[in-house]
Amino acid sequence: MDRQQQLDDLFAQLRNAAAPAEMEALQNGIWQLWLDTGDQLLNKKLETGMRLLAAGDYTTAIASFTTLIEQKPDWAEGWNKRATAHYLRGEYRASLLDVAETLRREPRHFGALAGWATMLRMLGDDRGALHVLQRLSKICPQLPGLQDQIHDLRDRLDDAHG
């Protein structure tokens, strides 16, 4: 089974998963596939970027992820990691652009979708956030707290227009 088939299979199971432990195991399996560039040198560069990110050195992490993107532009996770680094630096516009590139390459990227919804809420775009969370709900409907967030946003939008 190739990487894409493995991902499709894991996502099909994730859509039907109800137990938090099962969802977590499936998401971890998906992350393992997403985090593999298919190239040992690029995997090392990714590890370096992730260490820099964890250490709070966002500027150097962004540079590292940018190099990854330049070397493997079709790989979604390079864009997603750089989106995270931009987000942590408070650069929401740059982060949103990278999230869009991530989702262009992997429309089911639940991490990018969750981040996108968070930024939209922070920017006061409740309607946009609701749309993104509904998209996330199609991928992982039982994600803990997701349905509550959707209901809260719907109530807030209804109150604003009531």
What pTM did the predictor assign?
0.93
**Residue-wise pLDDT tens digits, 88-131:** 999 999 999 999 999 999 999 999 999 999 999 999 999 999 99
**Residue-wise pLDDT tens digits, 52-78:** 999 999 999 999 999 999 999 999 999
Residue with tokens 């262009």: 104
The DSSP string of 120-131 is HHHTT-HHHHHH
Alpha-carbon distance of 114 to 110, in angstroms, equals 6
* 79 CB-side CA count, 13 A: 22
Domains of the chain in start order, with CATH, are: 36-106 (1.25.40.10), 108-162 (no CATH)
Alpha-carbon distance of 122 to 43, in angstroms, equals 32
38 CB-near residues (< 8 Å, 6+ apart): 3
